[in-house]
Structure 1
Amino acid sequence: MNRTPSTARSGTFIASRRSVLLGGASLIAAVAAPGSRVLAASPGSNPGKYKADLGGYIGPKLSDAPMTLRVLRQEFSPEINAPIRAAYTAFKEAYPNITIEEERIPYGDLAKKVQLYVASGSAPDIMMGSTELAPVYSAGKIAVPLNDYFSQDFIQDIYAPLRESATIDGKVMCLAWESNSSFLYFNRDIFKRAGVATPPEVIEMEGGWTADQYINALRAITEKARKSGDQATFGLASSRFGNRGPGSNYSQLESMWVRMMGDPRAPKDSTAYKTFAGISENGQIATGYLDTPEAIKGMTNYQTLFKEDLSPKGIVADQYKGGVAATDFSSMAFANTFRSQGAPFDWGVSPPLRGAIGFASNVADAPFIYSGSPHIPEAAALLAFLLNDTNRRAFYAARGSMPSRQSLTNEMPEYKSDPVNMLAANVAAGAYGPPKSVGWLDYVNAVNPAVKDIALGVDVADRLHTAARQVDRLLVKYR
């Protein structure tokens, strides 16, 4: 149904949201607070409290007035859309006064669509966002803090790195949809043909190869392949993240090469700590964090992959799945796909690479509730219903991904007995969220091209120094 923006959602309020998402002026203005109805005292799954199993919802009783809730999310394949559609049907049966209108768009268009909707001041009630953008949602007053609508038990059940990434000043801004921490996949057949020992198949987060061990193995594999006349096989598959290819997704992938060279346990004034942190504590300075000696060493390792033709400089689709790449970085979804559809080769997994620490970044799609929604409690209840145990089990079964909540992982026997699943769970628990900054979009938009330039051969130190200064200039507007 059409909605006219209220006074609280007009004027400076819209400008403040635009400034955060689109990189404009400083943050200003407040937002209308969430609904004032009295909150329930117990979790939504408490029998008889609500008309349906609302999972972790603890908000007020839902209104009986006719209303429409709008949802924006990415498009999935039909078999993955099916459990979400079934959940909507079940929710509608319990709350027939609530109509759900869903807009599904290609994943690559999602972030821009969210930006445009927020800038307009009339956005869907629930939108699919990302844990890495929680500082943006908070500073721009874009999302409703969820602590008053979801039980503490539910929130604490989310894997800590995902929960902490989504939490700003104690307020949870979005809820992880699934766990996507990446680790190393390898093609056992290619390693065998090259006579190279495979990486360690252990379940501990810190048990993987060092960057040097990994690069040396890829060198040996590539040398053997080229000597045999094989020009198609590479050591590392072309990235499938983001826009694909080198410089595709610093948050989830390439930051590994830099941040694993740092150490969160080091003194905060050390370059080791600053390398891991990636940005100053106030989220505004990259110089001295992105371009430390350790960061330069890490990106020099990354450059080696392309300088020595261990990985393609361009975009090559599905190299690892196609059997022409010895290794790739991916989440549990790869393993589930191989197991359900079969793989054309013998495969295995190993922990993330190690520098000073074993490092993986845990960034997840995460729906949030638009702060301008006129139906915040009902939107929270719908989101809670989609995230209840029954609906999550159905989604993960169709999607083949890993749960974002530990209780669901713990109930699955394979996460107690299967080494691949056990590694995935350990990585999910031990991964790190991206650095927190209200200017994180500016940061990655500056760093991704720098990473691509480094892959193509520019001087590593000069390019990192330039990128750090560029980020500093971009973040001035948030001071």
Structure 2
Amino acid sequence: MKMKKTAYLTLSAVLLVGALTACGSNSDKSQEASATADAGKSGDPIKLTFASWSISEAATKGALEEMVKNYEAKNPNVKIEFVGIPFSDIKQQTFVMASTGNAPDIIQTFPAWFGSYAASDIITPLDDLMGKAYVDDLMPSFKEDFSYNGKLMGVPWAPTPYILYYNKEIFKKAGLPDKAPATMDELLKDAKLISNLKTDSGQKIYGFGEPTDKLAINGEIAMRNLYSFGGSILGSDGKVNANTPQMVSTLNYYKGLVKDGVGPSGAKLKDLRNLFSIGQLGMYVDGNYGKAVFRNLSGKGEAFDQVWGAAPIPAGATGKSVSIGEAHGLVISADSKHKQAAADFIKYLTDKDAISIYHKQNDVISARKSLSSMFTESEFDKVLMQQMNNIQPLPKNHPGMEQAYIDMADALLKVSTDTATPEKAAEELDAKLKTSLK
């Protein structure tokens, strides 16, 4: 199934607007040589455009700018031009850009929508461009997340497991010890205590939040909870089977959070991050982005690090800590005139020097097996690596996977807003997934 670029021609030209920021990075000698060769016999400089939401976010902007500055210093014939596009808009805008022949050379993408890119004709396979040694060095689960029909179509960048964050000050206010809950039953008990609290200005404090707005990322995140109840959206035969007791239990869990006043209804992930940062949410689950985001949103900078703690996901109904892993992906446009130079830049972004910069500023880890030993210095690193050993893979890429995640998020929203029972929502979801994933 191919997603033709012409399908996006009717979208508004407003979508083509992106903030362009010239920045820079570092690389090794082999990358320099390849990039130089790609410049052609004329010796003309190469300009690579890089569409990214991370360059538009305060928490990650500085690290990306430093990486690119180092790269350009080592590769003076290569210039990296950022195209800053918000996370919520980047897929749609880059498809529109591709439809008019203006696709960026490199595009940052995300697992929830990666199937849309992989099944389209706007990106190029990467096995040959990246080389066998590099491809074999990728962790299998993350490599699979960015493969399609047996080909590597994207490179996993900045991988993370989902972990639990808790606010120590709120725990103290609720009379709880400075210790994360070990089980989901303990978490819900603690969350109910916290949800009775108010801030000094009288605002409600939620105990624990899950994102339930109708967005693909929220459906993807919900896989973690479905796995914790021992469920899946697919049966043992690989076919859709979502109307199960495990799915009903998962939806009941979401319903209970709102019904019991433990968590907000219809929240986006960014809403939970903000509530946590301003002291109105005791616990929530997120990737390793937490530290930098909290510092910015709280307005307290590094001082806010004393306020929060991190821990593996509490054990669920299966008796095990279960998480999903996700990674930002990097893809290369099929229309790029400098594919090898783009591949070399991606190698740099995922190599030791660049990941060290990203890790120092944003706690980013690596999807490369050869770099896994880098992340053992801090307690936060140890939590991330402990959870990395307890990750269950996302469903295999499919052209309809993004819609499937949206369908799942819709079911979460319905039960949390009490517009459908968990049983009815599971039945409706099963029917939708059988269409989305046929």
Task: Give the alignment's TM-score, normalised by structure 2.
Answer: 0.78
Distance 1:108 1:358, change over 3 A: same
Q: Hey, what does 1:261 align to over in structure 2?
A: 229
Q: How far off is 1:405 after superposition? A: 3.5
Q: Hey, what does 2:16 align to over in structure 1?
A: none
- What stretches of structure 1 of length at least 5 have no aligned partner? 1-11, 23-43, 202-207, 240-244, 263-274
Q: Hey, what does 1:136 align to over in structure 2?
A: 116
Confirm or deny that 1:190 pairs with 2:145: no
User: Could you tell which deviates more after superposition, 95-104 or 145-154?
Assistant: 95-104
Distance 1:405 1:337, change over 3 A: farther
Letter in 2 for 1:435: P
Q: Hey, what does 2:24 align to over in structure 1?
A: none
User: Could you tell which deviates more after superposition, 154-163 or 455-464?
Assistant: 154-163
Mapping for residues 224-303 of structure 1, pairs under 5 Å: 225=197, 232-237=204-209, 239=211, 246-248=213-215, 249-262=217-230, 275-276=231-232, 278-279=233-234, 286=240, 288=241, 290-303=242-255
Confirm or deny that 1:71 pairs with 2:50: yes
Question: How far, CA to CA, are the matches of 1:336 and 1:81 in structure 2?
Answer: 11
Deviations along 1:107-143, one digit per CA (max 9) or x if unpaired, are 2211211222334454122111123444433332433
Confirm or deny that 1:221 pairs with 2:200: no
Letter in 2 for 1:144: T
2:207·2:282 contact (CA, 8 Å) conserved in 1?
Answer: yes
Letter in 2 for 1:467: L
- What stretches of structure 2 of length at least 5 have no aligned partner? 11-26, 296-300
Select which of 151, 156, 180 maps to 1:171.
Answer: 151
Confirm or deny that 1:384 pairs with 2:347: yes
2:213·2:413 contact (CA, 8 Å) conserved in 1?
Answer: yes
Mapping for residues 199-218 of structure 1, pairs under 5 Å: 200=180, 208-209=182-183, 211-218=184-191
Number of residues paired by the alignment?
A: 404
Q: Hey, what does 1:352 align to over in structure 2?
A: 313
Confirm or deny that 1:325 pairs with 2:304: no
Q: Hey, what does 2:385 align to over in structure 1?
A: 425
Percent identical: 17
1:161·1:428 contact (CA, 8 Å) conserved in 2?
Answer: no
Distance 1:132 1:442, change over 3 A: closer
Letter in 1 for 2:361: A
Task: Give the alignment's TM-score, normalised by structure 1.
Answer: 0.72
3-state DSSP class of the match of 1:393? helix
1:332·1:421 contact (CA, 8 Å) conserved in 2?
Answer: no
Select which of 379, 403, 411 maps to 2:374.
Answer: 411
Confirm or deny that 1:51 pairs with 2:13: no
Question: How far, CA to CA, are the matches of 2:379 and 2:79 in structure 1?
Answer: 44
Question: How far, CA to CA, are the matches of 1:293 and 1:148 in structure 2?
Answer: 45
Distance 1:80 1:352, change over 3 A: closer
User: Could you tell which deviates more after superposition, 62-71 or 144-153?
Assistant: 62-71
Distance 1:122 1:309, change over 3 A: same
2:156·2:328 contact (CA, 8 Å) conserved in 1?
Answer: yes
Q: Hey, what does 1:161 align to over in structure 2?
A: 141
Q: Hey, what does 2:15 align to over in structure 1?
A: none
Select which of 444, 448, 466 maps to 2:409.
Answer: 448
Question: How far, CA to CA, are the matches of 2:376 and 2:327 in structure 1?
Answer: 24
Question: How far, CA to CA, are the matches of 1:60 and 1:291 in structure 2?
Answer: 55
Q: Hey, what does 1:461 align to over in structure 2?
A: 423
3-state DSSP class of the match of 1:176? strand
Confirm or deny that 1:369 pairs with 2:332: yes
Distance 1:94 1:62, change over 3 A: farther
3-state DSSP class of the match of 2:193? helix
Distance 1:212 1:86, change over 3 A: closer
Select which of 432, 435, 438 maps to 1:473.
Answer: 435
Q: Hey, what does 2:14 align to over in structure 1?
A: none
2:108·2:328 contact (CA, 8 Å) conserved in 1?
Answer: yes
1:20·1:139 contact (CA, 8 Å) conserved in 2?
Answer: no
Which structure has the greater CA radius of gyration?
1
Q: How far off is 1:459 after superposition? A: 0.3
3-state DSSP class of the match of 2:329? strand
Confirm or deny that 1:394 pairs with 2:394: no
Distance 1:184 1:92, change over 3 A: closer
Question: How far, CA to CA, are the matches of 1:16 and 1:261 in structure 2?
Answer: 38
1:64·1:97 contact (CA, 8 Å) conserved in 2?
Answer: no
1:125·1:373 contact (CA, 8 Å) conserved in 2?
Answer: yes
Deviations along 1:398-447, one digit per CA (max 9) or x if unpaired, are 33433343544523451xxx433212012234323321222111112222
2:115·2:402 contact (CA, 8 Å) conserved in 1?
Answer: no
Distance 1:312 1:99, change over 3 A: closer
Deviations along 1:444-477, one digit per CA (max 9) or x if unpaired, are 222222211111122011012112212323445x
Q: Hey, what does 2:264 align to over in structure 1?
A: 312
Q: Hey, what does 1:28 align to over in structure 2?
A: none
Q: How far off is 1:152 after superposition? A: 4.0
Question: How far, CA to CA, are the matches of 1:463 and 1:352 in structure 2?
Answer: 26
2:167·2:309 contact (CA, 8 Å) conserved in 1?
Answer: yes
Mapping for residues 10-89 of structure 1, pairs under 5 Å: 16=4, 45=28, 49-51=30-32, 63-65=40-42, 66=44, 67-74=46-53, 75-77=55-57, 80-89=60-69
3-state DSSP class of the match of 1:148? helix
Over aligned residue pairs, what C-alpha RMSD do you find? 3.6
3-state DSSP class of the match of 1:291? coil
1:126·1:367 contact (CA, 8 Å) conserved in 2?
Answer: yes
Q: Hey, what does 1:272 align to over in structure 2?
A: none
1:60·1:377 contact (CA, 8 Å) conserved in 2?
Answer: no
Question: How far, CA to CA, are the matches of 1:167 and 1:238 in structure 2?
Answer: 29
2:375·2:382 contact (CA, 8 Å) conserved in 1?
Answer: no
Question: How far, CA to CA, are the matches of 1:346 and 1:398 in structure 2?
Answer: 18
Question: How far, CA to CA, are the matches of 1:68 and 1:157 in structure 2?
Answer: 28
Deviations along 1:249-307, one digit per CA (max 9) or x if unpaired, are 33442222222212xxxxxxxxxxxx33x236897x53x2x221111112111211001
1:84·1:386 contact (CA, 8 Å) conserved in 2?
Answer: no
